[in-house]
Amino acid sequence: MLGVMVALISLTACDKRREPTPETSGNSNDTMLTLPTDVADTIPERLFAIVPRDIPVKSYFKYLKETAAAFDTLVPYPLSEHLLVRANPWIIDTLENTDYYRRKLRGETLYRQPNEVVLHQGDTLFFPDSLSAGALLDAMKNTLIDVNIPEYRLRIIEYGKTLHSFPIRVGKNRIRHLKLAGHDVDLRTKPGKGAVVRLNQYPIFLDPVSGKKFTHTKRDDKITTLMPQIPWVEVELDGQRYGQMIHPTTNPETLEKAYSNGCVGLKEADAWRFYYHAPLGTAVVFRYDLEVIGVSGDTILLPDIYKWGKKTTRLRAVFRALP
């Protein structure tokens, strides 16, 4: 049995981490409280789970999967990891703070991010009521991931408005033999329209040039740490899978540069927030627009990093065309 406790309670706040634990008998880690026969009738009362033990990053996805599966039949909507976390935004804040460089600014050196506790014993996970769940699901359906390659920028756009804008790195302007591919590869990040088609919560780290597996990374400050466990996202563009992933980089000094082997790199903290706004099926556009509007409203002409010339993408048209 999944080690959680559940209860229905009339609460309005949905972002509190710790609430008083209901009294139970026996082992609280394995006790399930009695629920009403028709749980749907209890909405908008709040269903919640109490985290039974400390959950580190390396066990985080397994715990969320088990929790979503255990509660899926108790709510009148399809329950997923993304929906559960979006209903508890403090989780994203906590995950962001496992970023090596954020911790470095606080005087800490995080050598083993997978061992970092992100859900603590006694934390409360709230499940959204029907209206809140419907609003979150609708927002997910109306989200567009916008990547403008020469701008080195990824935006999360919801209902046509930018929620977040992150600096990125993109592919090098060169052709190189990659052992993993078995042939010469154009490393430039490809433009196109499509969707998120795969989520990798347990990435294996391979050097695409040599094919060598690695478990550690040398940071910008020359300190070597264990590779962080942060999910990668694969996109399909115009019906093609180029192997272009959107994933974190452990070397943020390479951001806003053409530096990768074709993938889009983000800061570790930004990668977590991006992941929870990009479930499977999320619309994606990779564009190569050299003209952008600056903060003052002026048109800015960006450097033509790939020598492709001027291209223009009408984002509103793209947004309407994608499911």
Q: 126 with 88: CB under 8 angstroms?
A: yes
Strand, coil or helix: what is 134?
Answer: helix
Q: What CA–CA distance (Å, rounded) separates 83 from 26?
A: 31
- Burial classification of residue 145, based on how many CB atoms lie within 10 Å of its CB (0-12 exposed, 13-18 middle, 19 or more buried): buried
Q: For each of the domains in the chain, give its residue range(s) and CATH number, in order of start.
A: 5-137 (no CATH), 142-321 (2.40.440.10)
pTM: 0.84
Q: What is the pLDDT of residues 48-74, one digit of tens each?
A: 999 999 999 999 999 999 999 999 999
Q: What CA–CA distance (Å, rounded) separates 147 from 117?
A: 32
What pLDDT was estimated at residue 44? 45
What pLDDT was estimated at residue 316? 60
Long-range contacts of 239-242 (CB under 8 A, 24+ apart): 239/194, 240/190, 240/192, 241/197, 242/190
Write the DSSP symbol of residue 187.
-
Residue 45's pLDDT band, with cuts at 50, 70 and 90, is low
Q: Helices (H), strands (E): how many in the chain?
A: 7, 21
Give the CA count within 13 Å in the CB-facing half-sphere of 162. 9
Mean predicted lDDT score pLDDT of the chain: 86
- When mean pLDDT is compared across 75-89, 192-206, 279-293, 302-316, the lowest value belongs to 302-316
Tell me the percentage of the chain whose pLDDT exceeds 90.
72
Q: 48 with 19: CB under 8 angstroms?
A: yes
Give the CA count within 13 Å in the CB-facing half-sphere of 149. 31
Q: What is the pLDDT of residues 219-238, one digit of tens each?
A: 999 999 999 999 999 999 99
Section 19-23 average pLDDT: 37
Sole residue written with tokens 């002409």: 301
Long-range contacts of 163-166 (CB under 8 A, 24+ apart): 163/277, 164/270, 164/273, 164/274, 164/277, 166/266, 166/267, 166/270, 166/274
Distances (CA, A) of 98 to 53, 76, 103, 249, 308: 19, 33, 7, 14, 38
- When mean pLDDT is compared across 189-198, 218-227, 237-246, 313-322, the lowest value belongs to 313-322
Q: 43 with 134: CB under 8 angstroms?
A: no
What pLDDT was estimated at residue 8? 36
What pLDDT was estimated at residue 176? 86
Q: What CA–CA distance (Å, rounded) separates 187 from 26?
A: 59
- When mean pLDDT is compared across 18-27, 195-204, 234-243, 257-266, the lowest value belongs to 18-27
What pLDDT was estimated at residue 86? 98
Q: Which residues pair with 198 in a beta bridge?
A: 234
Residue 123's pLDDT band, with cuts at 50, 70 and 90, is very high
